[in-house]
Amino acid sequence: MNGAIVASLPLYQAVVLGIVQGLSEFLPISSSAHLLLLPWLFAWPILRDPALNKTFDVALHFGTLIALFSYYARDAVGLLAAWLRSAWRRRISEPTERLAWMILITVVPAGLFGWRYEEFIEQRLGDPRLIGLLLIVFAGLLALAELVGRRRRAAEEVGLKDAIIIGCAQALSLFPGVSRSGITITTGLFVGLKRDAAARFTFLMSLPIIAGAALFKAAHLATHGMPHGMGLPFAAGVIASALSGYAAVAFLIRYLQARTVYPFVWYRIVVGLGVLGLWVARAH
């Protein structure tokens, strides 16, 4: 414990935020934007209390990690085994080994950028006006990718140049309103991946990033202790984000096999405009 007496997060807020995290982490609509906008909209205390925020962030990351690993457990184990085989032989012999290396490459830019700038972004770039603007701007990029993308390639066909481009694009997901899945699916479409292949590659490359973030934040929690009364909301957040996250992954993979990303584009635009309009109304 850090010695501070902190008000607990109400259980219903923990459940709502967990559901929102699970859905918006994997749908291309930005989880960080929704987790900032919801408390801002309803004046929930978590936005004003750093101890609550950091503690509950651990729960949300572990929940989404559980969801993603549960859905892709066989792929994750297969990719790890393929990478170990390839590293041992010092050559790439088959598509799964190639995919494992490409995923590893995508982690580097986002990991370095996050390590260097995550705290600055969390402290300085949570303004609702900026979030609303980024939701709209990156909705436009997603629409453009849908319009011009050739959509012919599978995830196993991602090459070195593609992996570097997608990895660098993923680094932008730290900005609230951009969306990790949104920017990586957008970039995947731009480099010629099929819609469902872009989503699959996005989710597989998210596994090490989310796992790393969860472990890093958990280490902080272990050092400073859990605020008083946060045990039950923490558990509720993990469960809610895990269940909703699994549902979101399963839905998006099936949905993108035959349908476009335009509903998510329109959703982002409507939410972005709504946020900007609400901010103007509150300012006056």
In a domain, 2, yes or no: no
In a domain, 144, yes or no: yes
The sign of the torsion formed by the CA atoms of 199, 201, 202, 206 equals positive
pLDDT value at residue 7: 54
Domain that holds residue 253: 21-42+50-283
Q: State residue 47's pLDDT score.
A: 61
Give me the mean pLDDT over the 252-263 stretch: 97
* Model pTM score: 0.92
pLDDT digits (tens, 9 = 90+) for 182-232: 999 999 999 999 999 999 999 999 999 999 888 888 887 888 788 878 899
Tell me what pLDDT residue 249 has. 98
The predicted structure's pLDDT at residue 8: 75
Is 4 part of any domain? no
Domain-embedded: residue 84:
yes
Ramachandran angles phi, psi of 96, nearest 5°: -65, -40
Q: In this predicted model, what pLDDT tens digit does every residue of 20-38 receive, in sequence order? A: 999 999 999 999 999 999 9
Q: Is residue 116 part of a domain?
A: yes
**Cβ pair 170, 209 in contact under 8 A:** yes
Number of domains within the chain: 1
* Residue 117 belongs to some domain of the structure: yes
**What is the distance, to the nearest Å, from the Cα of residue 49 to the centroid of all Cα atoms in its chain?**
22
In a domain, 261, yes or no: yes
| CA atoms within a 13 Å half-sphere pointing along the CA-CB vector of 205 | 36
Could you report the per-residue pLDDT of 41-91, keeping only the tens digit for each? 998 877 667 767 778 889 999 999 999 999 999 999 999 999 999 999 999
DSSP-based helix, strand, coil % in the chain, nearest 5: 80, 0, 20
**Residue 150 covered by a domain:** yes
Tens-digit pLDDT profile for residues 100-155 = 999 999 999 888 887 777 777 767 778 999 999 999 999 999 999 999 999 999 99
